[in-house]
Amino acid sequence: MSAVTYSWKIHPHGRLTQVESNILTVTGTILMPAGRLPRRMTVVKLANDELVIFSAMALADDQMTVLESFGTPAFMVVPNDHHRMDAQSWKERYPAIRVIAPAGAREKVEKVVLVDATFGDFGDPSVRFVPVPGTAEKEAALEVHSEDGLTLILNDLVGNIRDARGFTGWFLRLMGFAGDEPHIPMPIRRAMIESRGQVRDQLLTWAAVPSLRRILVSHGEPIEDDPRGALRRLAQSIQ
């Protein structure tokens, strides 16, 4: 986990892109001991034009202008205690934003920023906060329904880093964070999964949703080619 920032510190990142009428996403990198780790922030617009920020990242002014023109930041989901790096700086920039973290991560998240709730009632039935079963409520996800179907927003539970190269790529593959297909990183299996059966059942539940169109993960590429099949294969991998 990278060091917590208490000011608006901008790490390298790209541009916000729109994947649905109510979803923006942006990728960037943070410097880790073995090199740069890719990361993602996702922004979801509610029916009242308020925004849910999932895994917050500090962005350059031009991209923050794009974000603010999309809606009003109202909720910040800190999906586990490893994704709290920019949380305090976001809270300082938007004092009225409500901080949501899963119950199992609350204690560590609150070492950085006060958590307002461990559940997400966004006032919009198309967006659902999900503490992932089998993780002792240490990991959270979002289910977002749009005109095109369901977008599943996952955090560390699933990695999909494909293009890691050089020493950094070798290290990420060695540690289980990079691979040739979507996977559950080995450190996550060991540190976060307390019930394989419950995690497997949740993956299969998501895989059974006919309208699932894509999966956005915090580390790696979107899963858009047969996301339901990818979830079924992930479920089989933790038998």
Q: What is the pLDDT of residues 109-128, one digit of tens each?
A: 999 999 999 998 999 999 99
Q: DSSP letter for 10, please.
A: P
What is the radius of gyration, based on Cα positions, of the chain? 17
The number of beta carbons lying within 10 Å of the beta carbon of residue 225 is: 8
Which tokens belong to 132? 């992932």
Going by C-alpha positions, the residue among 128, 71, 77 that lies closest to residue 106 is 77
Residue 161's pLDDT is 77
Sorted by where each begins, the domain ranges of the chain are 17-237
Q: Does the pTM of the predicted model rise above 0.75? A: yes
**Which DSSP string corresponds to 21-50?**
TTEEEEEEEEEETTEEEEEEEEEEE-TTSE
Q: Which residues of the chain have pLDDT under 50?
A: 1
CATH number, domain 17-237 = 3.60.15.10
Residue 4's pLDDT is 74
Going by C-alpha positions, the residue among 130, 133, 135 that lies closest to residue 194 is 135
Which region, left, alpha or beta, applies to residue 89 given φ > 0 means left and ψ of -120 to 50 means alpha? alpha
